[in-house]
Copies of this chain bind each other. A is one copy, B any other.
C-alpha cells in the first residue's frame, strides 16, 4: 500500500496539514487563513474568486475566510469593484505582521519536512508533483470546483 503514489500523496498532504495546523494554532490562524494571507502578500489586490482558485476551494468557502480575516483587521476589501463585481483585497499592516510570525512557524515545518531531501531532490519533487497535477487537470472537473 505504501507503494501507491496516491496513498503516499494523501498521507504526506495529511501529515503536512496536521503539522501546519499545530504550528499555526498558537497564532490563532488556520491553514486556509494563513494561505490566504500569504497569497495576498505575493499578489496584492486579488479578488475572492481568484483567491479561491489559487487555493483549490470554492469561492463560498474562501468568502468566509476573507470575511473572518477582515473582521479581525488582517485585510481590507475595497468597497468599489475593480472589474466586474470583483472586490480587490489587500493586507493591512496588522495582517502583514501576523503573516510574518506565521511564516516563521511554517518555515520550521517545511525545513523539517525537507530535511532528508537534497536541494536537487526537492526541485525534482516539486516538478514531478506539478507534472502529476497537470496530467490530471482535465480529469478533475475541467477546473477546480471554483
State the A residues within 8 Å of B (CB).
1-6, 8-20, 22-23, 39, 42, 54, 56, 106, 109-110, 112-117, 121-122, 124-126, 128-133, 135-137, 139-141, 144-145
Contact = CB atoms under 8 A, between A and B. Distances in A.
Contact of A139 (B19, B39, B144): B19
Given A18-B144, A125-B125, A133 B5 contact: no
A3 B122 CA distance: 9
Nearest to A110: B6
29 contacts: A1-B42, A2-B126, A3-B126, A4-B110, A5-B110, A5-B125, A6-B113, A9-B9, A9-B13, A9-B129, A10-B16, A11-B129, A11-B130, A12-B133, A13-B13, A15-B140, A16-B132, A16-B140, A18-B136, A18-B141, A22-B140, A109-B139, A114-B135, A115-B135, A116-B132, A117-B131, A121-B124, A124-B128, A125-B125
A95 to B, nearest CB: 18
Nearest to A108: B139
B15 A136 contact: yes
B113 A8 contact: no
